[in-house]
Amino acid sequence: RVGSATSLSSAIINTRLQELVKLFKERTEKVKEKLTDPDVTSDDESPTASPAAAPVPPPGGEQEGDKPAGDEHYCEMLCCTFKYRPWLDRLKNYRFPSSIDPLTNLMYVLWLFFVVMAWNWNCWLIPVRWAFPYQTPANIHCWLAVDYLCDLIYLLDILVFQTRLQFVQGGDIITDKKAMKENYLRSQRFKMDVVCLLPLDFFYFKVGVNPLLRFPRCLKYMAFFEFNNRLEAILSKAYIYRVIRTTAYLLYSLHVNSCLYYWASAYEGLGSTTWVYDGEGNSYIRCYYWAVKTLITIGGLPDPKTLFEIVFQLLNYFTGVFAFSVMIGQMRDVVGAATAGQTYYRSCMDSTIKYMNFYKIPKTVQNRVKTWYEYTWHSQGMLDESELLVQLPDKMRLDIAIDVNYNIVSKVALFQGCDRQMIFDMLKRLRSVVYLPSDYVCKKGEIGREMYIIQAGQVQVLGGPDGKTVLVTLKAGSVFGEISLLAAGGGNRRTANVVAHGFANLFILDKKDLNEILVHYPESQKLLRKKAKKMLQSNNKPKDEKGAPGDPLIIPPKADTPKLFQAALAATGRMGGKGPLAQLRWRLKELKAMQA
């Protein structure tokens, strides 16, 4: 019957079963959502590194920890076994590249070094062998051997390297062998290289071994300037090499002048007058000393006697003044370029101090400003990183931002599962800011317009009744302020004070920049909104005795029985009735016992 106790209990059981089915369906949907998108429900899990941020394995294809220990290679010969190294196999199997990138290939830079060494041999030794009596029939074979070794290097540079250099034509990098060879044959470099190797050595059979016949070898100066450009591009402190090169220019000019002075002395006759070299001591050292005093215009030299000596000395003085002024100017430019950053830093700091003194800023504030300048400059080498990247194309700025910041941002749990391109766009909007010890990063109650990512250092979250109790210490890679950045409808106020513990370098992302980025990535915007909502719910969720949020129950407790119905059941029990209410009361007792 419709009103019987059995039908009522069946209805209650059916209702409970339907509730269980509904709860199990919800649980199944949550599990399915977690399987399809693990980042949605893994906010509390430790973030894993992105594949793009994973370390690149070594060229061998194995990680450092996966390398087999104790690899040994042996070579058997007759009855003995010799151990040999694997690099011999790589050397045997090496194939010379069909094309060479002159801008990035380190092997080409190394080859240019040998070419420049051969060029320096000719430039420095040809004047010495021509002026001083150092080339004799007894050692002529040694001089010729080194000469022809340098000629071989010149020849290999023409036949092997210059014909394989890549070049850009119409925006395309040309790597075709025939095109590279034709490009070199049409260039000015090829004409100069051919002049360098003019076979004037055949005149040795007629006039003897005269070093001046090798003077065309000094015309390979284009290789020297190319080597300078390539070497400065790969050196971290190129100004040191520039100083050394400028000093070498000065030494070479003194070297040539000493050779000319010995030649003039030999022309006039050694020791014939007080002005010429007297032939005593080491001839090169004595003549070099005279050249230094002449070109640098130190003075204290003997007066020339003959017309030839007067003309020679006048030319020396004019050349010395010109050469020395050029060297001083070039050295000033080199040192100025090397210290340009330091000069800019001092200029900014001096202007700031002058401004603070004019407005009578307190000394405590001035000291903190000075500390910020000094720490920022010594830690970053610059005051504003964006100034260096403003001239680069957008793609190159992105590549640099990925290399510098991606490892940190990719580990932030908030951005796990977001579009990778959105993270790339976000990297370009990050600003690096340095906070001093005890500086407030943000204060409780203020409007949150930024999100912070800790690049280096630590920050402390303060709370408690006095607002000075350290609740938690955040380290590098942590993120805070994201709820205020993503919340809407008045939820963007700071909930705690955050103070820098020591020097802290933070990345800042403005809310305006993030909203401009999320316009183009609606899926990532939905995911971030969902995560922000979960964070707000978890923060507002009541906690159990241990302080952790209570776990949701699959079977929630049954709603309480209405008070009027309880009174009717109690009256039935006291009267001892046997009607439907009595049967229902008995059935409810059974259900309570089963539930317990």
Q: What is the 3-state secondary structure (H, E, C) of 77-146?
A: ECCEEEECCHHHHHHHCCCCCCCECCCCCHHHHHHHHHHHHHHHHHHHHHHHHHHCCCCCCCCHHHHHHH
User: pLDDT: is 111 or 583 the higher one?
Assistant: 111
Q: Quick one: fold of 393-540?
A: Jelly Rolls (2.60.120)
153 has pLDDT over 60? yes
Dig out the tokens for 527 from the structure.
């995911």
**Coil, strand or helix at 204:** helix
Q: Calculate the average pLDDT of the chain.
A: 80
Fold of 239-383: Helix Hairpins (1.10.287)
* Neighbour tally for 459: CB within 10 Å: 25
Please, are residues 364 and 391 in contact by the beta-carbon 8 Å criterion?
no
Q: How far is CA 49 from the centre of its chain?
A: 19
For residue 293, the model assigns a pLDDT of: 87
The half-sphere exposure of 301 on its side-chain side, counting CA atoms within 13 A, is: 26
Q: What is the reported pLDDT for 197?
A: 93
Residue 378 pLDDT grade (very low, low, confident, very high; cuts 50, 70, 90): confident
Give the pLDDT confidence score for residue 480 in this predicted structure: 83
Least confident of 142-146, 191-195, 350-354, 556-560: 556-560
pTM equals: 0.62
Does the pLDDT of residue 411 top 80, yes or no? no
pLDDT band at 127 (very low <50, low <70, confident <90, very high): very high
Contact (CB, 8 A) for 376 and 344: no
Query: 55-98: per-residue pLDDT in tens?
Result: 444 444 444 444 444 445 555 544 445 455 566 677 677 788 88
First to last CA, the chain: 29
- What is the residue extent of each domain of the chain? 95-234, 239-383, 393-540
Please classify residue 202 by burial: count the beta carbons closer than 10 Å to its beta carbon, then call 0-12 exposed, 13-18 middle and 19+ buried: exposed
CB 458 within 8 A of CB 475: yes
Mean pLDDT in residue range 271-289: 90
For residue range 557-591, list pLDDT tens digits in order. 555 556 666 666 666 666 665 666 667 767 777 76
Angle, alpha carbons 227-232-238 (nearest 5°): 140
Region 460-485 average pLDDT: 83
User: What integer is the mean pLDDT of 377-384?
Assistant: 76
